[in-house]
Homo-oligomer: A and B are copies of this chain.
Amino acid sequence: MAKNITSPAEDFSRWYQDVIREAELSDAAPVRGCMIIRPYGYAIWERIQASLDASFKETGHKNAYFPLLIPESFITREAQHVEGFAPELAVVTHGGGKKLDEPLVVRPTSETIINYMFSKWINSYRDLPMLLNQWANVVRWEMRPRAFLRTTEFLWQEGHTAHASEEEAREETLRMLRIYADFAENVAAIPVIPGRKTEREKFAGAVDSYTIEAMMGNGWALQSGTSHYLGTNFARVFDTTYLDSNNEQQYVHQTSWGVSTRLVGGVIMVHGDENGLRLPPKLAPVQVVIVPIARNESDRTRVMEVVDRLKVGLKQKGVRLEVDDSEGSSPGFKFNYWEVRGVPLRLEIGQRDLEEGRVMASPRNAPGREGKFTIPLDSLEKEIPDILERIQDEMLEEAKERMRSRTYSVDTLEEFREAITERPGFYSVWWDGGPEEEIALQQDTKATVRCIPLEQPEQTGKCIMTGRKTGNRVILARAY
Which residues of A does B touch, CB under 8 Å? 27, 29-31, 34-39, 42-43, 45-46, 62-71, 74, 86-97, 103-104, 106, 113, 116-117, 120-121, 126, 132, 136-137, 139, 141-143, 152-153, 155, 328
State the Cβ distance, A402 to closest chain B Cβ, in Å: 30
Contact of A93 among B31, B62, B94 (CB under 8 A): B94
What are 23 residue pairs bridging A and B, where the CB atoms are less than 8 Å apart in the complex?
Answer: A29-B67, A30-B71, A30-B74, A31-B69, A31-B71, A31-B104, A35-B67, A65-B155, A68-B68, A68-B153, A69-B139, A86-B97, A87-B97, A89-B95, A89-B97, A90-B94, A90-B96, A90-B104, A91-B94, A91-B95, A92-B93, A92-B106, A126-B328
Q: For A106, give the chain B residue with the smallest CB separation.
A: B92
Chain B residues in 8 Å Cβ range of A87: 96-97
Dominant SS among interface residues on chain A:
mixed
Q: For A29, give the chain B residue with the smallest CB separation.
A: B67
Are B96 and A93 neighbours in the complex by a CB distance under 8 Å?
Answer: no
Chain B residues in 8 Å Cβ range of A141: 95-97
Instruction: Report the bound CA distance from A153 to B46 in whole Å.
Output: 23
Q: Which 3 pairs from chain A and chain B are nearest by CB?
A: A96-B141, A39-B62, A37-B65
* Contact A36/B117 with A64-B42, A71-B31 known, Cβ cut-off 8 Å: yes
Are A64 and B39 neighbours in the complex by a CB distance under 8 Å?
Answer: yes
Are B36 and A66 neighbours in the complex by a CB distance under 8 Å?
Answer: yes
Instruction: Report the bound CA distance from A69 to B153 in whole Å.
Output: 8
State the Cβ distance, A176 to closest chain B Cβ, in Å: 18
Chain B residues in 8 Å Cβ range of A27: 117, 120-121
Instruction: Report the bound CA distance from A141 to B74 in whole Å.
Output: 21
Instruction: Report the bound CA distance from A328 to B126 in whole Å.
Output: 10
Are B39 and A132 neighbours in the complex by a CB distance under 8 Å?
Answer: yes
Instruction: Report the bound CA distance from A27 to B37 in whole Å.
Output: 31
* Contact A68/B137 with A63-B43, A97-B87, A117-B27 known, Cβ cut-off 8 Å: yes
Contact of A64 among B29, B36, B62, B67 (CB under 8 A): B36
Chain B residues in 8 Å Cβ range of A121: 27
State the Cβ distance, A247 to closest chain B Cβ, in Å: 16
Are A62 and B43 neighbours in the complex by a CB distance under 8 Å?
Answer: yes
Most buried by B among A34, A92, A93, A103: A92
Are B70 and A31 neighbours in the complex by a CB distance under 8 Å?
Answer: yes
Instruction: Report the bound CA distance from A71 to B132 in whole Å.
Output: 34
State the Cβ distance, A69 to closest chain B Cβ, in Å: 5
Are A95 and B104 neighbours in the complex by a CB distance under 8 Å?
Answer: no
State the Cβ distance, A88 to closest chain B Cβ, in Å: 6
* Contact A113/B66 with A86-B97, A106-B92 known, Cβ cut-off 8 Å: no
Q: For A136, give the chain B residue with the smallest CB separation.
A: B137
Instruction: Report the bound CA distance from A328 to B94 in whole Å.
Output: 50
Are B65 and A36 neighbours in the complex by a CB distance under 8 Å?
Answer: yes
State the Cβ distance, A335 to closest chain B Cβ, in Å: 19
Q: For A86, give the chain B residue with the smallest CB separation.
A: B97
Instruction: Report the bound CA distance from A65 to B42 in whole Å.
Output: 7
Chain B residues in 8 Å Cβ range of A92: 90-93, 106
11 further A-B contacts with Cβ under 8 Å, apart from A27-B120, A39-B62, A42-B62, are A30-B74, A68-B68, A68-B153, A69-B152, A87-B96, A87-B97, A90-B96, A90-B104, A95-B141, A96-B143, A106-B106
Instruction: Report the bound CA distance from A104 to B64 in whole Å.
Output: 27
Chain B residues in 8 Å Cβ range of A42: 62-65
Instruction: Report the bound CA distance from A92 to B92 in whole Å.
Output: 4
State the Cβ distance, A262 to closest chain B Cβ, in Å: 14
Chain B residues in 8 Å Cβ range of A94: 89-91, 93, 103
Instruction: Report the bound CA distance from A96 to B88 in whole Å.
Output: 5
Instruction: Report the bound CA distance from A352 to B121 in whole Å.
Output: 38
Instruction: Report the bound CA distance from A66 to B467 in whole Å.
Output: 51
Are A34 and B96 neighbours in the complex by a CB distance under 8 Å?
Answer: no
Chain B residues in 8 Å Cβ range of A90: 69, 92, 94-96, 104
Contact of A30 among B113, B126, B132 (CB under 8 A): B113
Chain B residues in 8 Å Cβ range of A46: 63
Chain B residues in 8 Å Cβ range of A96: 87-90, 141-143
Chain B residues in 8 Å Cβ range of A74: 30
* Contact A31/B63 with A90-B92, A92-B91, A92-B92 known, Cβ cut-off 8 Å: no
Instruction: Report the bound CA distance from A256 to B31 in whole Å.
Output: 23
Chain B residues in 8 Å Cβ range of A116: 30
